[in-house]
Amino acid sequence: MGGFVYILANMRRGRTYIGVTSDLVRRVFEHREGLADGHTKRNAIKRLVYFEEHAEITAAIQRETSLKRWYQHWKWALIEQSNPDWRDLWEEITS
């Protein structure tokens, strides 16, 4: 079973959240609708700005763990490599 690592943000270079899931659309929907309690709900972090797909969920979990240890400016650089304008990628994953 595959998995996704994703990064949500509340604004460009703002607060971020890194997560892992086997169902990206469902999980991002939960964050967007405030169904996921915690950090994302408290800080209105709803914008999907980055994601990676992995063939194995264990690889996705390892990558998530690694990214969570990164300095904030490293995470920003990673996002800006593929999404320099910090667009919300919701439409991209649902169309």
pLDDT score of 36: 85
Domain extent at residue 73: 3-94
| Amino acid, res. 39 | H
> Does pTM top 0.85 for this prediction?
yes
CATH number of the domain where residue 50 is located: 3.40.1440.10
68-89 pLDDT, tens digit per residue, is 999 999 999 999 999 999 999 9
- Joined together, the tokens standing for residue 40 give 């994302």
C-alpha separations of 90 from 1, 19, 32, 40, 86 in Å: 22, 15, 10, 16, 12
14-40: pLDDT as tens digits: 999 999 999 999 999 999 999 988 999
Structurally, how many domains does the chain consist of? 1
Side-chain half-sphere CA neighbours of 12 within 13 A: 6
pLDDT at site 56: 98
